[in-house]
Amino acid sequence: MKSKICFIVCILVIFFSSSLNAAFEDRIVAIVNDEVITLSELDDTLEAYMKRIEKIPEGLQREKVVAQAREMVLDKLIDNMLLEQKAAKLGIIVSDEDVDKAMEGMLRDKNISVDTLMATLSQEGTTPDEYKDEIRKNIIRGRLVEKEVRSRTTINEKEIGEYYSKHRDQYEGKEATRIRQILLLKPKDCDAGTAEKLRTKAEMIRQRVEHGESFDLLVNEYSQGPAARSGGDLGFVEKGMMFPAVDTALSGLTKGETSGVIETPVGFHIIRVVDKRGAGIKPFEEVRDEIVRNIGNEKINKKYQEWLKELREQSLVEIKL
């Protein structure tokens, strides 16, 4: 019985010793109003940055970069905590459903699958929960900006006019041609014989176009590559966006004309010019909405930083790093 009691006491001593050691190893690195940030939280967040820093050779330079990264990450943690505290005071709540919808929208906009995203996160050393938490923080930030910053941001006509004059060079339209194509792709490791057969086939298709057959039907029948699904429509392309051989052919075509067979590294093209638009300064009315967005974003970014600085000054923030 006595030996059993001694065994239990030993176990308890080991347990409490390890707990005390863990407590001593961790410590508070910042106080933000009535909440704290611990060293372990800072180190966990810093881990992603450390993977990039590891590539820097050991020495003073690396130590300096690590110190700067630690300071930057702590600042970010403090800002995030301040934003969450402010959001709670204003009754801003971000649900799991909000996060899921934002994530679905991002995947749709970037045209990537969930599996691709998960693989990317794994390579970066980020867990799905950490990624979702970052999305939640971004939503909170966005709602705070909408409520506290954007609602107080105004843009007048004078500012819009001055921006247009100052950035006039950005609103110079470039000559562009809207084209459709029939493309016969070269197979991988295409030899001379295969290329010649493809060229002959392309020439045959071109002759059918010349004899009045529908370009649309020939696209559907023969064209390959991603644009084939949209009727071969490549939209408006500016000079330099296509292969040089295609650019050269386009320069000599007018609206409604069709090129001969053009060979490029990817295959054989037959190009039809759908429309052309010329160069010149875009009219003010055409770019006004874009200018308003640009001015608004500049103002909001500036005001957001000012607002965040004020929030920090009005709060109890003590750094103990």
Burial of 201 (0-12, 13-18, 19+ CB in 10 A): middle
Write the CB contacts of 76 (distance below 8 Å, at least 6 apart in sequence).
45
Tokens of 44: 């966990």
pLDDT in tens, 113-138: 888 888 888 877 788 998 999 899 99
Which pLDDT score is estimated for 52?
65
**Which of 173-177, 227-231, 237-241, 271-275 has the largest mean confidence?**
271-275
Residues 139 and 93 sit within 8 Å (Cβ to Cβ) = no
pLDDT in tens, 162-206: 998 888 777 776 778 899 999 999 988 899 999 999 999 999 999
- Residue-range domains of the chain with CATH: 25-72 (no CATH), 175-278 (3.10.50.40)
Residues 250 and 177 sit within 8 Å (Cβ to Cβ) = yes
Q: What are the backbone dihedrals phi and psi of residue 92, each rounded to the nearest 5 degrees, phi first?
A: -85, 120
Bridge partners (DSSP) listed for residue 269: 183, 262
**pLDDT above 60: residue 23:** no
**Among 142, 147, 220, which Cα is nearest to 180's?**
220
